[in-house]
Amino acid sequence: MRRTLLATGLALLLAGTGCAAGQRTPTSSPAGTPTASRQDAGQVERTLASLRRVDDLPLYEMTYVGDYDPTAGISGIPEASPFGCSLFAALGDRTRPLFARNFDWDPNPALVLRTDPPDGYASISMVDISYLGVGADPAGDRRLLNAPLLPFDGMNERGLAVGLAADDGATARPVPGRPTVGSVRILRLVLDEAATVDEAIAVFGRYNLDFDGGPPLHYLLADATGASAVVEFVDGTMRAEKSRGAWQALTNVAAVGVADRDLRRDHRYGVLAEALDKAGGTVDAPTALRLLDSVRQAHTRWSVVYGLKTGEVRLATAAGGGERSYRIPMS
């Protein structure tokens, strides 16, 4: 049943992709599936040629060369199924704030994706490529050209990071006149368009979110200034709650307007809160990975830490292949 929903959501995600004036014709997959790619043939070849396997999760890396349309097929997009995740922003030292998260889900292949669109910010993000219909042998699969549309977490060149987690009680009531975007696709729009938490909240406010066919979600945002916020949908309405302290965390319980003592009744939130309180919200990347490990679940797929000022990314996967490091040039 869950995979049927995934397939239906994928079909709706990809349906209706068209060509706006002045854009190159979208490249199609072997099955004729439309894609968000706005690349020429050479850029497609360079993108697919950059794919390489780096561990046995399996985890892949790919650099997306050229442009994509982040709004392709943007209406009515159920995109996923429930996620159990743990996220936190450690903001105690404003000279080195960081964003960290565990992604807890099915044993699917993952992709580290670099993008640098001509009209948006460069970013590095994590993608579960099973949601593209891509399996454990993705070499040459043109469906990877849709990978920019499905970041499950990421950071851009301005130090803005975003991640998602399931929130079973969330409901999003559509606002007339706003375009509708899927609950995962919104992360791409945030990474491309927002440099700060306030700008990211504004991006959320420009769209209706579609949770149909997938999980209700809530989101953690943080930026290089040391600001952070949780975005949730409460009684159908989007609400954002900014951090008032040295850290902010998110698991799978509603957080906006909820007392801290009640949030700490959730085991994973309580573990994060105790450690971050003790550290005054100041942790380095190795410590952050150890803290993520303390709330790791049997189905944790990856743990990632984003340095919001340094552009450093530290990644560990369930495959046990050791830690991987990346860096995005910061503007």
- Summarised one tens digit per residue, pLDDT across range 130-181 is 999 998 789 999 999 999 999 999 999 999 999 999 999 999 999 999 999 9
User: How many other CB atoms are found less than 10 A from the CB of residue 67?
Assistant: 21
Contact 63, 47 (CB under 8 A): yes
pLDDT of amino acid 22: 28
pLDDT of amino acid 135: 82
* pLDDT tens-digit profile, the chain (331 residues): 333 333 334 433 333 222 222 223 333 344 335 368 989 899 999 999 999 999 999 999 999 999 998 877 664 333 434 457 999 999 999 999 999 999 999 889 999 999 999 999 999 999 999 999 998 789 999 999 999 999 999 999 999 999 999 999 999 999 999 999 999 999 999 999 999 999 999 999 999 999 986 789 999 999 999 999 999 999 999 999 999 999 999 999 999 999 999 999 999 999 999 999 999 999 999 999 999 999 999 899 999 999 999 999 999 999 888 899 999 999 9
Question: In which domain, by residue range, is 99 found?
Answer: 2-18+25-327
pTM of the model: 0.86
CATH number at residue 83: 3.60.60.10
Exposure string over 206-245, b if 16+ CB within 10 A, otherwise e:
ebbbbbbbbbbbbbbbbbbbbbbbbbbbbeeebebbebee
How many distinct structural domains can be found in the chain? 1
| ∠ Cα 175 176 179 (to 5°) | 80
pLDDT of amino acid 322: 87
